[in-house]
Chains A and B, each alone.
Chain A
Amino acid sequence: MSSFRQIAANRNNAKKSTGPRSKAGREVSGRNARRHGLAIDIGSDPLFQDDIEKLSHALSSGAQNVRERARETAEAELDLLRIRKFRACLFETLYLADTALPDSLAELNESLAKLERYERRAFSRRKRALRAM
């Protein structure tokens, strides 16, 4: 197990090396989340606020003590639904569309693998929140 001194040193080093430094680099990395929108925190997206409220209310049945966990569950659930829709779009554009080429199968495969990472994280978030409820 790392000592407190080691942990502090790691944190200091991480601050020195994390992320791009130049303005251009920061602009590029700032756009990462907007490529497909899945990296954007769903809880801060106004489009999903109504659904999050509805689902968290249904999950908590109005009980105040589990309200926060219910909201976390609702956010993770809506994230999962959003990912499923995005996956359907990928199949639609890269496999079923008339413009899809045999080569696009590789692209589809790669995109599905990336999507799986987001899905795994959303599942873990929902599982944690449900256990804590």
Chain B
Amino acid sequence: MSSAMSEVSVFKPTNELSEVFGEPALVGLEKREVYDGFLSLIASAIKPTDPIGWLLTKDVTDWSWEIRRERIIKVEIIKYYQKEVVAELIKALAPPGQFKTALYRIFQADADLTLWETDPEARIKIDGALAAKAITPPLSLRRLTCEAPPRSTRSTRGSPPMNGGAIPL
């Protein structure tokens, strides 16, 4: 991306327009130089020749930037709530016995949850253990995580191949 940026560095608004645009509306760890590079890349495609062209280029850049930001936030929110649901489900993996159950919930459940979140192999095992106990996440969560819901023979017979029952994100 850096070589592409150097090629298009000529696409900058005039100083007068830059002053009017001011500081871009950035959030958190978003960086000014990355934004400027992004604006240059979009400008190199649009090739604005007058101030009106620059206003429209700025619109496209800001919208694309905001869309990117909101997609990241959407993923974070999904992961947050996904973790909450799994944290509740995983308690069912506690071994039988009141004392052992309490120990598992206090000391082991969080570690298993972290494993489920970070280690794909551990995730398959935990999901398998939950499925063996006939515990499946709610349908809404399965869709969010792009996992196929269990299909009944009746509903799948003759139906076109589906995208694993997942909603394209």
Are A54 and B28 within 8 A (Cβ)? no
Contact of A42 with B by CB under 8 A: no
What is the distance, in angstroms, from B88's C-beta to the closest C-beta of chain A?
15
- Knowing A87-B66, A91-B27, say if A81 contacts B21 (CB, 8 Å): yes
Partner of A105, one of B20, B27, B66, B77: B77
Contacts of A58 in B (CB 8 A): 14, 16-17, 20, 51
Are A85 and B25 within 8 A (Cβ)? yes
Contact with A along B88-131 (1 / 0, CB 8 A): 00000000000000000000000000000000000000000000
Main secondary structure of the interface of A (DSSP, over half): helix
Are A130 and B52 within 8 A (Cβ)? yes
B-side interface residues, number (CB < 8 Å): 21
A-side interface residues, number (CB < 8 Å): 23
Are B20 and A78 within 8 A (Cβ)? yes
In Å, the complex CA distance between A126 and B52 comes to 11
Which residues on A are within 8 Å of B, measured CB to CB? 51, 54-55, 58-59, 73-74, 77-78, 80-81, 84-85, 87-88, 91-92, 95-96, 102, 105, 126, 130
